[in-house]
Amino acid sequence: MMMKIVVLDGFASNPGDLSWEALAQMGELQVYDRTAPYELHERIADADIILLNKTPMNAAAFQAAPKLKLISVLATGYNIIDIEAAKAHGVRVCNAGSYSTNAVAQMTFALLLEATQQVGSHNTAVRDGQWSQSKDFCFWNTPLMELAGKTMGLVGFGSIAQAVAKIAEAFGMKILYTARRKRNDPRCVSLEELLAQSDILSLHCPLTADNTGMINEESLGKMKDGAILINTARGALVDEAAVCNALEQGKLAYFAADVVSKEPISPNNPLLHAKNCYLTPHIAWAPKETRERLHAINEENVRAFLAGCPQNVIV
């Protein structure tokens, strides 16, 4: 008997430029672009396997899916799943670790270079005629920054942070980082020291109950005046109001983020009106090559599960 495979929110990872054919060959496939909360229980009622990205699976959802055997997450993070409920119902949960390492590292530097070189701002100025009217052969509207010799502090040192470190070193930057467990590495320092020494602080850690809001008024106060803060990890790591205040007061020179506390971003998020703030709509993972890798990992997750040897297992 064929397994019923349901994709609950496929549009984000596949807006039409990828194929679901590999999954269709493994079972009876139903793909939904998006699933609203009121639609969830009906859509998963007879599902054996679910693929999802950001659709929450709480305890009630597991109750509504008595046939469910596997959830494969179209992402690395799996905080949208009630893991204890999955255990209680005997449901295997798998994810796609490290698929986006290169892309997120690339986005980290895209954000940093925008802050330090102001490419977008100067492109606009040129197109508005400011260069044509310039008395000199060049001009700049804001101070620019050379990265060589600067200290880049990384909160977390997993695969993405390590990829960022390699790029930073190619720019001639000094690397410091903090990790969950102290390492025998002179670059591994306490969070206090990292805050104090970093010219650029970049977040690369998972969101937990312990580190929610870790970048707040107190921690910002320990940073260098005029430091740059980058967040490509999880929005809730940052107290957004505190960041806005730090930008306004000049404590932070720039804040650049691909993630915010509530996504899509709320119209009243204070970051939308903060100065020297650059925001992108959670697209670090979005290059086609990256999404192809994500889909291939999830297809293999399903294939391995059906073969009796599950991979990338969370529970």
Supply the residues annotated as catalytic. 234, 263, 282
Which residues are registered as beta bridge partners of 178? 155
Q: What angle do CA 52, 54, 57 make, to 5 degrees?
A: 70
As a whole number of angstroms, the distance between CA 172 and CA 146 comes to 10
- What letter would DSSP give residue 312? S
Q: What is the dihedral of CA 55, 57, 58, 64, to 10 degrees?
A: 120
Spatial separation of the C-alpha atoms in residues 57 and 53, rounded to whole Å: 10
- Angle, vertex CA 281, rays to CA 278 and CA 284, nearest 5: 90
Do 87 and 44 contact (CB within 8 A), yes or no?
A: no
- The two tokens of residue 193 are 């020291």
Amino acid at 144: L
Distance in angstroms between the alpha carbons of the first and the last residue of the chain = 25
